Amino acid sequence: MRPFAYEAALDADAALRMATTSGAAAEYLAGGTNLLDLMKIGVAKPSALVDISALRTEHGAISADAEGLSLGALVHMAEAAEHPAVLRHYPVIAQSLRLAASQQLRNMATLAGNVLQRTRCNYFPDPSWSACNKREPGTGCATMEGVNRRLALLGTSEHCIAHYPGDFGNVLAALGAEVTVLAPDGAARRIGFEELHRLPGDRPDRETTLRSGEIITGFRVPAGP
């Protein structure tokens, strides 16, 4: 693992400020179940980690009303999967979260971290394969002629056929959910979940439409019939 700076933020304003001053290579750290693994094997190389665990006070709640379901970004996967309102009115969310990982991981991983998880393409987390446009833009795509049976058929490009691995994310898209995002200047915006992730195009390393320093604060799922 490469050296990195570490800072712990006590609130969203502090987190945004720390991420901005730490540079473009800074990453937010919550559960860390995906990020830390990738750092250990040399795939993720952040210059700094901004620990946002304390933001659970602001963005770690679940609430439901007649209009829909609100999920804080820092809610743990296990909490959402076991919440009475989710189980009763949005069982597909609970099912997707229970299928996504082991109980140990669900106890630690956050909902925002889950939707930002990286691909499980065999070549991406293995630096011994130099050709991976998602890991190192411009190097090629080893999976085009390699082990690719489990990868994407639709929404690909000549530069990448890796697929998005999230069960929970697919459910959010199907339910017409929205994502609330906070920018470094403090402005909040809400986007449809299907607008969060980018198609690979010619820059598969750019996986989301989040702008530099932005942080996901929550999800809103509208009530269905």
Give the C-alpha distances (Å, rounded to integers) separating 198 from 124, 130, 155.
17, 23, 10
**pLDDT tens for each residue of 119-133:** 999 999 999 999 999
Confirm if 130 and 136 have CB atoms less than 8 A apart: yes
**pLDDT tens for each residue of 56-80:** 999 999 999 999 999 999 999 999 9
With 80 as the cut, is the pLDDT of residue 164 above it? yes
With 80 as the cut, is the pLDDT of residue 51 above it? yes
Confirm if 127 and 42 have CB atoms less than 8 A apart: yes
The rounded Cα 86 to chain-centroid distance in angstroms is 20
Q: What is the pLDDT of residue 39?
A: 96
Confirm if 159 and 132 have CB atoms less than 8 A apart: no
CA dihedral 69, 50, 114, 87 (to 10 degrees): -30
Backbone angles phi, psi at 6, to 5 degrees: -135, 130
Confidence grade of residue 149 (pLDDT, cut at 50, 70, 90): very high
Backbone angles phi, psi at 167, to 5 degrees: -75, -45
With 80 as the cut, is the pLDDT of residue 23 above it? no
**pLDDT tens for each residue of 82-122:** 999 999 999 999 999 999 989 999 999 999 999 999 999 99
Q: What is the pLDDT of residue 225?
A: 80
Q: Are strands 68-72 and 62-65 parallel, antiparallel or unpaired?
A: antiparallel
With 90 as the cut, is the pLDDT of residue 22 above it? no
CA dist., res. 25 & res. 189, Å (int): 23
Two tokens, residue 176: 């017409």
Two tokens, residue 7: 């800072």
Q: What is the pLDDT of residue 25?
A: 86
Specify the 3-state DSSP secondary structure of 27: strand
Q: Which residues contact 54 (CB under 8 A, 6 or more apart)?
A: 8, 9, 10, 11
Report the chain's mean pLDDT, rounded to a whole number.
95
Two tokens, residue 172: 């959010």
CA dist., res. 225 & res. 223, Å (int): 7
pTM, whole model, 2 decimals?
Answer: 0.94
